Amino acid sequence: MDYPLLSLFWTMLEFFLFILWCFLLFKIITDIFRSHDMGGWGKAGWTVFIIVLPFLGVFVYLIARGNSMATRDLEQAQAADAAFRSYVQDAAGGQGDGTADSHVDDLAKLADLRSSGAISESEFQKAKGKLLA
């Protein structure tokens, strides 16, 4: 057991920096491929530059295109949010939008449930009251 405590801390720091470097490298590679303002040759050139000379390539990329990385992140987040909102709205089937048609449809469904015996008259009245309120 000849491994001093300072060496252990140094090893942990090196491991942490290696993981940090890997995350940064993958972030830049994904940013290269999602960039719409760069053509195929530009993407290929940056990718080769980052793979062949990783330290220099990453630093040059951050200096040259670092500002636009945040813009692309924001655009991607807004697109994902819009897609999620659209999915939720479609999954909800337009309920809760305040239109009279959705209330009529819901009342018709409640009446069908009551007539089939799935819900009682009191449950129907409660649901109808909530729907019309």
The predicted structure's pLDDT at residue 48? 94
The predicted structure's pLDDT at residue 23? 93
CA 124 to CA 100: how far, in whole Å? Answer: 19
What does the buried/exposed string (b/e) look like for 16-44 if buried means 16 or more CB atoms within 10 Å of the residue's CB? eeeeeeeeebeebbebbeebeebeeeeee
The predicted structure's pLDDT at residue 101? 61
Q: What is the mean pLDDT of the chain?
A: 86
Residue ranges of the chain whose pLDDT lies below 50: 96
CA 85 to CA 120: how far, in whole Å? Answer: 35
